[in-house]
Structure 1
């Protein structure tokens, strides 16, 4: 039996568009592509851009 029954599940904010990393040309290009995808109603492309922005590595 699940001992967490009745407890709320916390999920990450995947429904929010991630912000591009400041000064990153790749992230900024993906953000522009995302805006264009929103403009034509291509939610699949929007989602793809969000995934790529989240996964793009940055050195600190």
Structure 2
């Protein structure tokens, strides 16, 4: 019995973390929170900050 790759399946690189927009206090706040979470080894919070930052950027920028 041979193994087959699923059709249409591919691995991709994780997307880069969103950067704060210059001059935006909300972006800066979320970026600082993300860095604080990373320093505390709370990678779930890092991910949450990335999600919130992307949502904010989609709505505000």
Q: What is the TM-score when the length of structure 1 is the normalising length?
A: 0.71
4+ aligned runs moved over 2 Å, structure 1? 7-14
Shift of 1:58: 1.7
Note the alpha carbon deviations across 1:3-47, whole angstroms, 9 max, x for none. Answer: x82x55375743x21111221100100000001001010001100
Matched with 1:9 is 10
> Structure 1: which 5+ runs fail to align?
none
- Output the aligned Cα RMSD: 2.3
Aligned residues: 54
More helix by share: 2
Q: What is the TM-score when the length of structure 2 is the normalising length?
A: 0.70
